[in-house]
Amino acid sequence: MFADLLRRELRLGLRHAADSVAALLFFVVVTALFPLGVGPEPKLLARIGPGVIWVAALLAAILPLDRLFGADAEDGSLDLLLLSGLPPAGIAILKTCAHWLLTGLPLLLASGPVAIMFGVEPAPFAVLMLGLLPGTLVLSLLGTAAAALVVGARRGGVLLPLLVLPLATPVLIMGTLAAEAARTDAPYAAPLLVLGALLALCMPFCPLAAGAALRQSV
């Protein structure tokens, strides 16, 4: 059942791919504007590149969240999902997987060319990509929980960034810290382990919180 519902979510996401494309274009445009603002000095761009990518990925991942449950709530599909036999936490995991595959994974793949554009050296480049993998998963988990909390709320799209950004701050800090440590030849394992710990913490709690919010919303 889970696989069938996931395929449904992916088909719907690909059919209405404007949200994912908009998030990806936002990420590319934001990262492309930074060199225009800070100057073309290669060493400066290589130093700030990982931080710029992390911030742009965080902001881009938030863009499609307002329709993660909102579209299903509007047309009644959310009620059918809750009646499908899958527990509310399972529906939250389903939405998290769909969000990451349609938004998080494209952002992760786009981060490589952007990092090359910034002139990021091989060592911090590898650490940046290694950190973005659990980082984007955590962002999807946090975003799903926040999106479930604002289902049915007025101006929920305005509330979403206010909920997600403070919770995602540790992810941003650890991701940029790991890349900076790799750039300066300092130990970078600890920040990556913290990212893994955050992922392990969010994996059980975010779906449970999202499931409880979905039950309250209907």
Q: What is the DSSP string of 140-209?
A: HHHHHHHHHHTTT-TTHHHHHHHHHHHHHHHHHHHHHHHHHHHHTT---HHHHHHHHHHHHHHHHHHHHH
pLDDT tens digits for range 104-137: 999 999 999 999 999 999 999 999 999 999 999 9
pLDDT at 20: 85
pLDDT bin (cut points 50, 70, 90) of residue 39 is confident
| Eight-state DSSP code of residue 87 | -
The residue assigned the tokens 């290589």 is 46
Q: Domain residues of the chain, as ranges?
A: 2-217
Chain centroid to CA 130: how far?
15
* 3-state SS assignment for residue 217: helix
CA angle 142, 18, 156 (to 5 degrees): 40
Which of 143, 176, 192 has its CA nearest to residue 49?
Answer: 176
10 Å CB burial of residue 144 (0-12, 13-18, 19+) is buried
pLDDT tops 70 at residue 74: yes
Grouping H, G, I as helix, E, B as strand and the rest as coil, residue 137 is helix
